[in-house]
Homo-oligomer: A and B are copies of this chain.
């Protein structure tokens, strides 16, 4: 185990490993080697070992890793042993879809509130989640102990929304607006750009290698 800065690529993979281990646990598998994990889930065994070793010596030489034990370690490392309260800003189609999606699929994250600037939407509910006026963000965020914000507003207003969020003391932000954001201070912003992803596929299709369907 080393005391180094851990790359985001590593932490992303930790999340993947945890899911894989959950699958194994569901099958009642007790131990697994890095090689076994890699083969089963199309991963790289050296990378698994290296990633895990950043956080501790969880394995047993000659045996592998104990599935349940490692699951607990990963859960703690990823901070998934505590609840997180999520606010979604932008109650448009994407925002409401994310509210449903996260509400259903995520166990440690609960969507506590939504925000919008549209008077028509304010006061309505998406499932159990109320839509508040974005002007009240700081107050509601504090009241509901929000610690994660999701930006699902048009690109043009994303930067100003980010400023409202960070002023309220939120440190973790997921951004779905297709625009690069200027981030100040120790705030983590993860941008998921659905447009870039699609255009990247378009580029791939435009390459001559793929035009005939063979290569």
Interface residues of A in 8-53 (CB under 8 A from B): 8, 11-12, 14-16, 18-19, 41-43
Whether, in the assembled complex, A1 has its beta carbon less than 8 Å from a beta carbon of chain B, the answer is no
Bound Cα distance A12, B200 (Å): 6
Whether, in the assembled complex, A174 has its beta carbon less than 8 Å from a beta carbon of chain B, the answer is yes
Whether, in the assembled complex, A214 has its beta carbon less than 8 Å from a beta carbon of chain B, the answer is yes
**Chain A interface extent, by class:** 35 or more
Measured CB to CB, the closest approach of chain B to A7, in angstroms, equals: 11
Chain copies in the assembled complex: 2
Whether, in the assembled complex, A79 has its beta carbon less than 8 Å from a beta carbon of chain B, the answer is yes
Whether, in the assembled complex, A93 has its beta carbon less than 8 Å from a beta carbon of chain B, the answer is yes
Q: Which residue of B lies closest to A76 (CB)?
A: B206
Contact stretch, chosen from A61-69, A103-111, A114-122, A133-141? A103-111
> Are A172 and B16 within 8 A (Cβ)?
no
Bound Cα distance A213, B142 (Å): 14
A195 contact set on B, CB distance < 8 A: 15, 19, 105-106
Bound Cα distance A156, B50 (Å): 28
Give the interface of A toward B (CB within 8 A): 8, 11-12, 14-16, 18-19, 41-43, 77-80, 82, 84, 93-94, 96-98, 100-102, 104-106, 108-109, 147-148, 169, 171-174, 178-180, 182, 186, 188, 190, 192, 194-206, 209-210, 213-215
